[in-house]
Amino acid sequence: MKRMNHLLELAALLGGALLTGLTLIFPVIGFLQWVSMIPMIWAAYRLGADPTVKLRHAYGYGFLTVFAYYFVLYHWFVSLYPLDFAGLDNAASLVVVLAGWIGLSLLQAIVGGLIFLAFRALHKTDVMEKMPLLRPFVFAALWVVFEWTSTLSWTGVPWGRLALGQIDYLPMLQSASLFGSYFVSFLILSVNGLLAYMLYRRARSWLCIGLAAGILVGNLSFGLIARAVQKDPESPVTVAVIQGNISSKEKWGVNTLAGIQCTYAALTREAAEKGAELALWPETVLPYSVNERSSVKRFLSDLAKECEITLAVGAFYTAEDGAEYNALYFVDPDGTFREEFYAKRHLVPFGEYVPMKKIIETVIPPLSELVNLGGSLTAGEGSAIMESEVGRLGSLICFDSIYEQLALESTRDGAELFLVSTNDSWFFDSAGVYQHQSQSQLRAIECGRYFVRSANTGISTVISPDGELLAWIDPLERGYAVAEVEPTDTRTLYSVIGNTFVYLCIAGVAALAGVGIWRKYKKRENQTDDPLIQY
């Protein structure tokens, strides 16, 4: 009987994880997120109350659950195969793709399993027994802390934030401007947890339904009001995103520079004719160190001057000491080529550098060969806010955009308009492209800024401060898109307080654990002092 119960709980855990993962792959069904985790949390309650489930068992269940969630989410790794453009044969490509897909899912699961271990440990404390409706919120807080830890090291990639599943339902995301996307995740989990508790205990049904409905309606109402008061640009600037649809496989080829220049120059001229005052080109669109190629600098200066446009162009920068950076260069409308540049701050593991290189070379040699740039890149430091004729520009390159702390830093340093230069051609038109794009929408809402995003083969977009897509170029298409934006120095609450909500979740869980330990200690102490027990 116990075995059957545990199989039922495992099925509920995996079913909830898989369904929730699908909402991030297909955001059109994102409304299901508000109920998709009910089976998972219901099973977590049962496991927490079962005295035969040890802490290591709870961790194991959690490990499998989080692994299933990310395994579904990272399915787009298969679109990378084969990696012949990186010099890998089919066998080596298969090893790398599987290592990325399974390995990254395992890394998330190793940490994610701690959610269930901690919840099992807290479930039977005196505080939780006396206030059972704390359980939904404790589980939500633990998951939020897990999401946040994914930003702390190279092993964690915050690709699976629950808030991303709401990207097609922008009113549900506006509270991220107050407390960040983690707050949205907390609300989603709390609603699921309350409804799961109603099913688990079959008690306090109306209270659980009322609280869940209150959270859902409150969040929706705030979002609708926030979007309704969103103003159109009063002093608009016309920006353009340029998408040449030249993939990494093509641009690393021999004698491609002339073709790239021709394609992007033509599209930029067309955008300028439409009134564009700023044009953004993708990440490493020019696969060379521009500072070492005077002819390329002259080409960009002449183009900017001809079009009377501010150019932002992705390429490499080689320092005097030989360090190489993934950079974004700026050229003024008068043709002045800026010596200052933005350098990518969060490099892609195994794409731009190899972490734990000696171990990787021994265990998975093909992974160490994946860095095909002739050597590892160096991470940039600082936000490098760029003064321009269209405002103070904050920059993010590719992976930078999935780490909210980098956007926050740039906002606090005075960025009035964000440029995101990225290369998603590795993913073709898979779900990975759309998932990466939606991260910029989250950053726009959090920071209250317009975001201009250009990708080599798409998706290229212009995003309003409430996350709305003002312009869009589909994947694997060549073209440009223009839209009006407004640089601003107003601040959202979140850009001021940052991840304070996450820290409150950490403090709340720690306090609950501390009180539980203290009460358990006092209970044992009282039992020891009882003379009848001593006798």
- Please report the domains of the chain, with CATH numbers, ordered by start residue: 2-228+499-526 (no CATH), 237-345+380-492 (3.60.110.10)
pLDDT band at 221 (very low <50, low <70, confident <90, very high): very high
Q: What is the pTM of this model?
A: 0.93
Average pLDDT on 404-422 reads: 98
Per-residue pLDDT at 238: 98
Q: What is the pLDDT of residues 466-505, one digit of tens each?
A: 999 999 999 999 999 999 999 999 999 999 999 999 999 9
Q: Is the pLDDT of residue 460 over 50?
A: yes
Q: What is the pLDDT of residue 360?
A: 67
pLDDT band, residue 257 (cuts 50/70/90):
confident
Residue 123 has pLDDT above 90, yes or no: no
Q: Which tokens belong to 383?
A: 């936000």
13 pLDDT band, cuts 50/70/90, is very high
How high is the pLDDT of residue 369?
Answer: 60
Q: Looking at residue 202, what is its pLDDT?
A: 81
Residues with Cβ within 8 Å of 167's Cβ and at least 6 positions away in sequence, in order, are 27, 30, 173, 438, 441, 442, 467
Q: What percent of the chain has pLDDT over 90?
A: 74
pLDDT of residue 534: 46
Give the mean pLDDT of 196-204: 89
Task: Say yes or no to pLDDT of 81 above 60.
Answer: yes
How far, in Å, CA of 87 to CA of 245, rounded?
Answer: 22
* Mean pLDDT calculated for residue range 294-321: 96
- Tokens coding 135: 């359980």
pLDDT for residue 74? 94
| 46-68 mean pLDDT | 94
Question: How much is the pLDDT for 84?
Answer: 75
> 76-90, 447-461, 490-504 — which is least confidently predicted?
76-90
H-helix or E-strand spanning residue 452: strand 451-455
- Long-range contacts: 134-138, Cβ < 8 Å, 24+? 134/512, 135/45, 135/48, 135/193, 135/197, 136/41, 136/189, 136/190, 136/192, 136/193, 136/194, 136/196, 136/197, 137/190, 137/193, 138/508, 138/509, 138/512
- Region 381-403: what's the mean pLDDT? 96
Over residues 440-445, the mean pLDDT reads 98
Rounded to an integer, the average pLDDT of 410-430 is 94
231/226: higher pLDDT: 226
- Is residue 385 within 8 Å of 414, Cβ to Cβ? yes
Mean pLDDT value across residues 28-55: 95
Closest CA to 169 of 33, 73, 31, 25: 31
Which of 450, 454, 495 is closest to 232 using CA atoms? 450
**Sheet harboring 469-473: ordered strands across?**
386-388, 391-397, 417-422, 451-455, 460-463, 469-473
Euclidean distance between CA atoms 105 and 344, whole angstroms: 25
8 Å CB contact between 35 and 176: no
Q: Which is higher by pLDDT, 4 or 151? A: 151
Q: At 531, is the pLDDT very low, low, confident or very high (cuts 50, 70, 90)?
A: low
Does the pLDDT value for residue 92 go beyond 70? yes
pLDDT on residue 25: 96
The pLDDT of residue 343 is: 98
Q: Which residue has the higher pLDDT, 276 or 234?
A: 276
Q: Is the pLDDT of residue 535 over 50?
A: no
What's the chain's average pLDDT? 91
Q: What pLDDT, on a 0 to 100 scale, did the predictor assign at position 367?
A: 60
pLDDT, one tens digit per residue, over 325-382 is 999 999 999 999 999 999 999 998 877 887 776 676 666 666 666 655 456 899 999 9
